[in-house]
Amino acid sequence: MNNRVIFFDTTLRDGEQSPGASMNAAEKLRLAMQLEKLGVDVLEAGFPAASKGDLEAVTRIAAKIKNMEIAALSRTEKNDIDLAWKALSHAAKPRIHIVIATSDLHMSAKLNMTRDEVLKEITEAVRYAKSMHDNIEFSAEDGSRSDRDFLCKVFEAAIESGATTVNLPDTVGYAVPNEFAELIKYVRTNTSNIHKAVLSVHCHNDLGLATANTLAAITAGARQVEVTINGIGERAGNTSLEEVVMAIHTRPNFFPVSTNINTEYIYPTSKLVTMITGIMVQPNKAVVGANAFAHEAGIHQDGVLKNPMTYEIMKPETVGLSSNKLVLGKHSGRHALRSRLKEMGYELSDDELKLVFNKFKELSDKKKQIEDEDLEAIVNEGILRITDVFCLEYLHVASGTTVLPMASVKLLINGKSIRGAAYGNGPIDAAFNAIASLINAKAELLRFSINSLTGGTDAQGEVTVRLKENGLIALGKGADPDIIVASAKAYINGLNRIEYLKTLPDSPVI
Ligand SMILES: [Zn+2]
């Protein structure tokens, strides 16, 4: 049996379905380039029929990325398949990914179709896609709750019609590991032509079992796993790429399989996803949480100093957490900045580099050491957020023990400068009130949090806000050594993201 496990990353498609995680086309392209460095085999870039934005993002990624397969999701409708293929037309290694539900519940309640009708639909859709291209994946949505024998028939029909990968999703995160492994074995035994395709799994984390189910499936013979960085995704999220990779890496005797993943890019990729989506990783998250390699208890620290293996089953360097990071400072020149950015994966144009360099100089006046996190924040704010409707031009805040906090703000709205002022019960409240009054924003602030981006009292404050307007939820982020400015940036970023969300139609869920 082939022992290579294919990693199919869906951070850009399923991950983007996390509430408030929408990314713009430039952010998606940046993330795609990082995932290529990480060694992902197949990147699901989006669902072109969902919106013009998705179509554009998949098209841009497909044109740029040469080493990974680029997949585009499609329902069984002809129009969906046409759009997926259109978006992939410039891809070096395209894959059309077709999905339809196969559980009795989904077929009757959602599709209003019989089993026979669904089988016919699959055959026609896969054949149609196959007429355009050879690399076709078929997914049986709600596969884990589908009738086993029907599922085998479904896969048989899909493979017969030309599918080269068949995917068994645990769409609602209902499966448990032993049962899921049994199902994989059953499908492998009872689908006559299964040897002609790669069997894939796609798990969700509603019961906290996504990683366990995925690993059980690998043991039972699945050879593609669908995952996201940090496990982001619909509801409780998808299987975490980093958890599956590190389980395989740490327990090779138990998982005698190989992967193409460069583990030292795991941590930088996780940080980038956090920065772009604004979805924080819980501190105790396996592999990439802030505490994953922190040893607080004295007795543990003592042991780790004597021999790291006493309490560390993985080396921090293996996942890219390096202790001797290269830092830039006030005197670093444009050349040093360009080469550091290049190492981080950014190939900027001269104009973009000029913009980043100016911001870098501004920041290095306030902060002695500029670390990778700082540079990511600068590029993120300066280059990737190209669709902003509202921009902060100027902010002045007065606060203290004897004054009523007041903020005056100047914003650029669709190219026009507008200024205003407002009071608040604190400086951040005043700044938000002033911004909201200029934009006439109706968004409600659901959550506000602030973190230090790096160590040191001169560190940049990184603010995350969660905003809600008419059922749309968006996260906003902003970084600055001045936490009031960081807060204003985050608030404006959140409002921009709400504007972006308003332009997107609903996406289906698998
Ligand atoms: Zn999913």
Q: How far is CA 331 from CA 133, 339, 362, in A?
A: 53, 15, 12
Q: Which two tokens stand for residue 229?
A: 């960085």
The 10 Å Cβ neighbour count of residue 177 is: 18
Centre of ligand 1 from the C-alpha of residue 19, in Å: 14
237: alpha, beta or left? (left if phi > 0; alpha if psi -120 to 50): left
Q: Report the chain's C-alpha Rg in angstroms.
A: 24
Centre of ligand 1 from the C-alpha of residue 317, in Å: 31
- In this structure, which amino acid lies at residue 63? A
For 400-444, the pLDDT digits (tens) are: 999 999 999 999 998 899 999 999 999 999 999 999 999 988 899
Q: Return the HEC string of 434-480.
A: HHHHHHCCCCEEEEEEEEECCCCCCCCEEEEEEEEECCEEEEEEEEE
According to the model, what pLDDT value does residue 341 have? 85
Is pLDDT of 510 > 50?
no
Centre of ligand 1 from the C-alpha of residue 399, in Å: 47
Centre of ligand 1 from the C-alpha of residue 351, in Å: 39
According to the model, what pLDDT value does residue 295 have? 67
Centre of ligand 1 from the C-alpha of residue 169, in Å: 7
What is the distance between the alpha carbons of residues 98 and 118, in angstroms, rounded to a whole number?
13
According to the model, what pLDDT value does residue 167 have? 98
Centre of ligand 1 from the C-alpha of residue 244, in Å: 16
Interval 333-362 mean pLDDT: 86
Is pLDDT of 505 > 70?
no
Is pLDDT of 386 > 60?
no
Centre of ligand 1 from the C-alpha of residue 14, in Å: 5
* Three-state SS at 227: strand
Is pLDDT of 300 > 50?
yes
Q: Which of 34-48, 290-304, 315-329, 474-488 has the highest mean pLDDT?
A: 34-48
According to the model, what pLDDT value does residue 92 have? 97
Interval 64-71 mean pLDDT: 96
382 confidence band (pLDDT: 50, 70, 90): confident
Centre of ligand 1 from the C-alpha of residue 148, in Å: 20
Is pLDDT of 377 > 60?
yes
Centre of ligand 1 from the C-alpha of residue 423, in Å: 45
Q: CB-based burial of residue 280 (10 Å sphere; 0-12 exposed, 13-18 middle, 19+ buried)?
A: middle
Q: Which of 471, 470, 475, 480 is nearest to 491 (CA)?
A: 475
Interval 349-355 mean pLDDT: 89
According to the model, what pLDDT value does residue 387 have? 62
Centre of ligand 1 from the C-alpha of residue 477, in Å: 26
Centre of ligand 1 from the C-alpha of residue 256, in Å: 26
Centre of ligand 1 from the C-alpha of residue 235, in Å: 10
DSSP readout, 253-320? TT---B----GGGHHHHHHHHHHHH--PPPTT-TTTSTTTT---SHHHHHHHHH-GGGT-SS-GGGGT
Centre of ligand 1 from the C-alpha of residue 138, in Å: 13
The pair phi, psi for residue 201, each rounded to 5°, is: -130, 155
Lowest mean pLDDT, pick from 145-159, 324-338, 450-464: 324-338
Q: How far is CA 495 from CA 395, 498, 503, in A?
A: 17, 5, 13
According to the model, what pLDDT value does residue 506 have? 53
**Residue 238 in contact with residue 202, Cβ under 8 Å?**
yes
Centre of ligand 1 from the C-alpha of residue 509, in Å: 7
For 80-107, the pLDDT digits (tens) are: 999 999 999 999 999 999 999 999 999 9
For 216-250, the pLDDT digits (tens) are: 999 999 999 999 999 999 999 999 999 999 999 99
Centre of ligand 1 from the C-alpha of residue 239, in Å: 9
Q: CB-based burial of residue 449 (10 Å sphere; 0-12 exposed, 13-18 middle, 19+ buried)?
A: exposed
- In this structure, which amino acid lies at residue 12? L
508 confidence band (pLDDT: 50, 70, 90): very low
Residues composing the chain: 510
509 confidence band (pLDDT: 50, 70, 90): very low
Centre of ligand 1 from the C-alpha of residue 203, in Å: 7
Centre of ligand 1 from the C-alpha of residue 181, in Å: 19
Interval 346-374 mean pLDDT: 86
Q: Which of 412, 371, 397, 358 is nearest to 484 (CA)?
A: 397
According to the model, what pLDDT value does residue 298 have? 67
According to the model, what pLDDT value does residue 323 have? 54
Interval 363-372 mean pLDDT: 84
Centre of ligand 1 from the C-alpha of residue 187, in Å: 20
Is pLDDT of 346 > 90?
no
Centre of ligand 1 from the C-alpha of residue 238, in Å: 7
Centre of ligand 1 from the C-alpha of residue 486, in Å: 34
Please give the distance of CA 46 from its chain centroid, rounded to a whole number: 11
Centre of ligand 1 from the C-alpha of residue 144, in Å: 12
Is pLDDT of 502 > 90?
no
Interval 23-42 mean pLDDT: 91
For 52-67, the pLDDT digits (tens) are: 888 999 999 999 999 9
Strand order across the 472-480 sheet: 444-452, 461-469, 472-480
Interval 300-328 mean pLDDT: 77
Centre of ligand 1 from the C-alpha of residue 31, in Å: 19
Centre of ligand 1 from the C-alpha of residue 490, in Å: 29
Q: Which of 324-328, 384-388, 403-407 has the highest mean pLDDT?
A: 403-407
Centre of ligand 1 from the C-alpha of residue 463, in Å: 29
Centre of ligand 1 from the C-alpha of residue 420, in Å: 44
For 168-205, the pLDDT digits (tens) are: 999 999 999 999 999 999 999 999 999 999 999 999 99
**What is the number of alpha carbons within 13 Å of residue 416 lying toward its C-beta?**
4
Q: Which of 411, 375, 406 is nearest to 391 (CA)?
A: 411
Is pLDDT of 147 > 70?
yes
Which DSSP state fits 4?
B
Centre of ligand 1 from the C-alpha of residue 234, in Å: 7
Centre of ligand 1 from the C-alpha of residue 17, in Å: 9
Percent of the chain with pLDDT over 70: 95
Centre of ligand 1 from the C-alpha of residue 15, in Å: 8
Which DSSP state fits 67?
S
Centre of ligand 1 from the C-alpha of residue 485, in Å: 37
